[in-house]
Structure 1
Amino acid sequence: MEKLAIIDMGSNSIRFVVMQIADNQSYSLLYQEKEAIRLGHGLSQTGVISEEGMQRALTCLHVYKHIMEVMDIHECRAVATAAVRNASNGEAFLKRINAETGITMNVITGEREAYLGYLGVINTIAMKDFLIFDLGGASVEMTLVRDGEAVHSLSVPIGAVTLTEKFGTQGNPDSEAIASLMKFVRKKMAAVPWIEDIQLPIVGIGGTARNFAKMDQRATNYELSKLHNYIMPLEHFENLYHEITTRTSANRKKIDGLSSERSDLIVAGAAVIKTIFDMTGSPEMVVSGCGLREGLFFEYYASYCQLPSPRFDDILDFSVKNFIGTLSGIIINQAHYDQVTRIATQLFDQLQPLHGYGPRERLLLQTAARMHDVGKIINFYNHARHSAFMIAHAPLYGLTQVEQIITGFIAGFHHGISRKIIRAYRYANMASAEDWIMIRKLSTILALAEASDLTYEQIVTDVEVTLAENVAVMIITTAPGSTYNAADYEMKQLSKQFKKEFGASLLLVWK
């Protein structure tokens, strides 16, 4: 068992997280804390971190040090970014931190900050070609990713705090002030020529990007409050940008979803994102809740577990295994999980002429099969329903938000389709009518696979389906000497459901 504390001290806020790595190498978040310390306040005018800002930071760091002692944490990765990097008294401040708290904090370069943000994104969002921007209080880190590799990276010394102070946008800026702000940001961003007209999705890290996602979710009545991997179309951003830059300070604070602690910085932050949209020609912004801190953790995790790289090849497979590994409260019957997944995949492939789905739907079915029983950690009774909720909210990476919800529904019906689950589950409307047709078909396949291993003996060695005259003949081969009566009975209970979803009768033939 290993515990790691991570401290990220930025220009606007300081964050503290504690991660745990179990003996089976699964990891989980144990603790998280955040405070707005405004360390960069006044830095653009004076060139130094103020005593007030340092005191706010030290107050937090004393608390974090105490928490580390209480939780018996001996490993800590503490980094400071643009405010300390740019301040003439930054080095002296770090020495003071060490002397007063015992915490050793290091300043990281803009390039290092960009790389850590890249690690946080590439391991948690399944995209290959995109532009990352990490907008902080005093800088914005830009990384262009092609085929999953970071090909260009640069730190631009503009941020939400420094721009707000320079142009006074915390109050009621007029159109002239906004125009001056945009002109200045565009001039600074000209240092990043490789983003011009790339027309790739942009991935936003940082509080401003997350706050835009939250405002958009409220404006569109989006049912899921999860911010990570939320996709925001350009049109939605433009609408919010207009609201933010034309309202008075008092009315701006009334925008649903706008954080009270960020309302004074949002105009400057919006200007940076607007400039990035304009320069890149990007159609949408994907919001990442993972960035520098996750990048620091993945580096440590890879070293601790002796992995060849801190970048994972298959992030969905890795995150599913990791999540299951954290469920120490239940006995994981991995042989049953593997068997159900194998049979469900075989049935999907052989029933393809009836359902017509492809590789993506196949992946959703496999993911649901691999996690279909996780709800038992809550309660055995209604565990399919609990599994649906857990899958929808688990830290799974490699699926879109809607795909994760759909995967939960597929797993939720592995004992048969239940209207009770549909009525009770609040995210039912996130799936379209076409999605629900697919969910019902795939959940029927999963239910049949689950029923085939009813006794947890893995007796089925092979399944072959023959389709003829609206009949699906399922030839099931079993291990020598095995008893299949229970599985046969359970699978036959699904015949009516199969006929309804696939339009064909089901005939079971056991070998």
Structure 2
Amino acid sequence: MEKLAIIDMGSNSIRFVVMQIADNKSYSLQYQEKETIRLGHGLSQTGVISEEGIEKAMTCLHVYKHIMEVMDIKKCCAVATAAVRNASNGEEFLKRINEETGITMSVITGEREAYLGYLGVINTIAMKDFLIFDLGGASVEMTLVRDGEAVHSLSVPIGAVTLTEKFGTQGNPDEDAIASLTKFVRKKLGDVDWIQDINLPIVGIGGTARNFAKMDQRATNYELPKLHNYIMSVDHFDTLYYEITTRSSANRKKIPGLSSERSDLIVAGAAVIKTIFEMTGSPEMVVSGCGLREGLFYEHYADCCHLPSPRFSDILDFSVRNFLGTLSGVIINQAHYDQVTRIAVKLFDELQPLHGYGPRQRLLLQTAARMHDVGKIINFYDHARHSAFMIAHAPLYGLTQLEQIITGFIAGFHHGISRKIVRAYRYANMPSSDDWVMIRKLSTILALAEASDLTYEQIVTDIDVTMAENVAVMILTTTPGATYNAADYEMKQLSKQFKKEFGASLLLVWK
């Protein structure tokens, strides 16, 4: 087992995370802290990091050093970005950090910062073509991704803190100040020809992007309090932008979801995002909660586990395996999981003429099957309901937020459809009526697959389904000499549910 501390000292805030890599190579987040230190405050005027900012940072770093000692952490990856990169006293500051805390912190280039942000996004959001922007306090890093590969990247020295100071937008900026700010940002980004009219989604990293997601979620009464992979349309952004730039400072703070720590920087940050929207012609912003720190970790993880690349080819498969690996071995019967998954996918394919669903729905069923029993780690009783909640909130990547909720519901009904689960689960209103039809059908398939391995013996080797009039004849091939009475009884209990969901009777034939 190994623990790694990561420190990301930016121009506005400093973050500290502890990641653990277990002996089975699964990893998990163990600890996280964030403080606003405003290293970039006054930097554009003086060219140096202020003493106040330095002292705030040092206070945090002494605490982080103590936590590393308490947690017996030997490895620390500490990086500083634009504020230290641009300040004339940056090297002196880093020397003091090392002398007082023993932490060796390195300054990374804007290009490397952009690459790390790319790694954080490409391993956690299933997209192929998009533009990443990482808006910090003193710079914005941008990366154009085509077919999953970073083809262009650069760092532009404009950030929420430095722009706020330059144009005085922290209080009650008038139209002229905002116009000057926007003109300046457009000029700074104007030479970046590879972002012009690309009409691709933009992926936003950083506090400003996350705060817009929070505001949009509050404005739309979005039920799931999760920011990573939240999708916000340009129309919704424009509505919030208008509110932010027309309200007084006091009224701006009353916008639901707007962080009090960011209310003074939000106007400048909003101007940068709006300019990126306008220049790219992008239809939506996908908010990423993963960026530089995750990129640093993935590099370390790939090296530690001797992987060929810090990029994972199938992020959903990787994250499911990783999550299962973090759970206690007591509750993971891998042979049962694999059998239920195999049978569920086979049934999906055989019943395709009845349900009419395609590859994406097949993937949701497969994922639900792979994780259907994880709720046992909480309690065997009601474990299907616990599984639903855990799947919906697990760090799974490769699904949309709604798809992850739907996958949880499919798993939640693997012992049969229960109104109790629907009533108890707070996200029942997120899936549409059509989604619920699909959930009920796929959960019925999963319930049949689970019932077929009731005794955990993996006796079913193959399943074929033929239709005879309005009857689905399910032919189950078993291992020679297997006793299938229990599985037969359990599967027949689902006949009524099958007919209700698929409009056909179910006949089981064992051989």
TM-score bucket (shorter structure)? over 0.9
8 Å contact 2:452–2:487 — kept in the other structure? yes
The code of the aligned residue for 2:109 comes to T
- Residue 220 in 1 paired to residue 228 in 2? no
1:191 shift after superposition: 2.7
Distance 1:286 1:93 in 2: 35
Aligned to 2:359: 359
Whole-Å separation in 2 of the counterparts to 1:412 and 1:29: 26
The equivalences for 1:441-460 within 5 A come to 441-460=441-460
Alignment of 1:347-496 (within 5 A): 347-496=347-496
Identity over aligned pairs, percent: 89
1:266 aligned onto 2:266: yes
Paired residues of 2:373 and 2:383 also in contact (CA < 8 A) = yes
User: Which deviates the most, 186-195 or 371-380?
Assistant: 186-195
Structure 1 position 329, deviation (Å): 6.2
In 2, Cα distance between equivalents of 1:329 and 1:73: 25
CA contact (8 A) 2:331 2:374 kept: no
For residues 71 and 480 of structure 2, what CA distance do their matches in structure 1 show?
53
Q: Is the 8 A contact 1:245 1:267 kept in 2?
A: yes
Matched to 1:507, the amino acid is L
Quick check: 1:62 aligned with 2:58?
A: no
Q: CA RMSD in A?
A: 0.5
Cα distance in 2 between the residues matched to 1:345 and 1:459: 16
Report how far residue 469 of structure 1 moved. 1.0
Distance 2:30 2:192 in 1: 38
Count of residues in correspondence between the two structures: 511
Aligned residue type for 2:171: G
Q: Which amino acid letter does the alignment assign opposite residue 497 of structure 2?
A: Q
Map 1:7-22 → 2, pairs under 5 A: 7-22=7-22
How many angstroms does 1:223 deviate by? 0.1
Q: Could you say which residue in structure 2 is the equivalent of 1:168?
A: 168
Residue equivalent to 1:183: 183
SS in 2 for 1:429: coil
The amino acid that maps onto 1:420 is K
**Amino acid across the alignment from 2:131:** L
User: Would you say 1:198 and 2:202 are equivalent positions?
Assistant: no
SS at structure 2 position matched to 1:465: strand
C-alpha separation in 1, matches of 2:18 and 2:411: 31
2:308 matched residue in structure 1? 308
Residues 312-349 of structure 1 show CA distances to partners (whole Å, capped at 9, x for unaligned) of: 00000000000000002633100000000000001000
TM-score with structure 1 setting the length: 1.00
Partner residue, 2:145: 145
How far apart are the structure 2 equivalents of 1:467 and 1:159?
A: 63
Aligned to 1:115: 115
Q: Aligned residue for 2:207? A: 207
Conserved 8 A contact 1:329-1:377: no
Q: What whole-Å deviation, never above 9, does each CA across 1:8-42 have from its counterpart, x for those lacking one?
A: 00000000000000000000000000000001100
Secondary structure, in 3 states, of the residue corresponding to 1:239?
Answer: helix
1:170-220 C-alpha deviation (Å, 9 max, x unpaired):
000000100000000000011311000000000000000000000000000
**Aligned mates of 2:141, 2:160 — CA distance in 1:** 13
Q: CA deviation at 1:392?
A: 0.1
Per the alignment, residue 280 of structure 2 pairs with 280
2:129 maps to which residue?
129
Distance, in Å, in 1 between the alignment partners of 2:346 and 2:112 is: 45
The corresponding residue for 2:46 is 46
SS of the equivalent of 2:143 reads: strand
Structure 1's consecutive aligned runs of 4 or more residues displaced over 3 angstroms after TM superposition are none
Instruction: Indicate yes or no: 2:506 matched with 1:510.
Output: no
Q: Which stretches in structure 2 are left out of the alignment for 5+ residues? A: none
Aligned-partner Cα distance in 2 for 1:191–1:20: 42
Gaps of 5+ in 1: none
Q: Pairwise mapping of residues 246-265 of structure 1 onto structure 2 (< 5 A)?
A: 246-265=246-265
Counterpart residue identity of residue 49, structure 2: I
User: Which residue identity lines up with residue 31 of structure 2 in the other structure?
Assistant: Y
CA deviation profile, 1:214-256 (whole Å, cap 9, x unmatched): 0000000000000000000110000000000000000000000
Q: CA deviation at 1:462?
A: 0.3
Q: Alpha-carbon deviation of 1:401?
A: 0.1
| AA aligned opposite 2:215 | M
Deviation at 1:129, TM superposition (A): 0.2
Determine the C-alpha separation between the residues in 2 that align with 1:328 and 1:153. Answer: 41
Conserved? CA contact 1:388–1:412, under 8 Å: yes
* CA distance in structure 2 between the partners assigned to 1:306 and 1:64 by the alignment: 28
Residue identity in the other structure for 1:154:
L
Secondary structure of the residue aligned to 2:49 is: coil
1:381-418 C-alpha deviation (Å, 9 max, x unpaired) = 00000000000000000000000000000000000000
1:243 equivalent in alignment to 2:212: no
Equivalent position amino acid for 2:441 in 1: K
**Are the counterparts in 1 of residues 331 and 376 from structure 2 also a CA contact under 8 Å?**
no
Equivalent residue letter for 1:204: G
CA distance in 2, matches of 1:313, 1:472: 38
Tell me, in whole angstroms, the C-alpha distance in 2 between the residues paired with 1:469 and 1:209. 55
Q: Which amino acid aligns with 2:217?
A: Q
CA contact (8 A) 1:364 1:403 kept: yes
User: CA-to-partner distance for each residue in 1:432-480, whole Å, 9 max, x for gaps?
Assistant: 0000000000000000000000000000000000012110000000000
Q: Please tell me the residue identity of whatever aligns with 1:13.
A: S
Q: Deviations for 1:101-120, whole angstroms, at most 9, x for unmatched residues?
A: 11000000000000000000
Classify the secondary structure of the residue corresponding to 1:200.
coil
Task: Report SS of the residue matched to 1:309.
Answer: coil
CA contact (8 A) 2:214 2:257 kept: yes
Distance 1:225 1:192 in 2: 35
SS of the residue corresponding to residue 275 of structure 2 reads: helix
**Does the 8 A contact of 1:114 with 1:134 survive in 2?**
yes
Structure 1 partner of 2:78? 78
C-alpha distance in 2, partners of 1:450/1:100? 58
Q: Aligned equivalents of 2:192 and 2:249: distance in 1?
A: 32
Q: What is the match of residue 229 of structure 1?
A: 229
SS in 2 for 1:430: coil
Which residue identity is paired with 2:423? R
What letter corresponds to residue 66 of structure 2 in structure 1?
H
Matched position secondary structure for 2:307: coil
Q: Is the 8 A contact 1:330 1:376 kept in 2?
A: no
Distance, in Å, in 1 between the alignment partners of 2:446 and 2:14 is 45
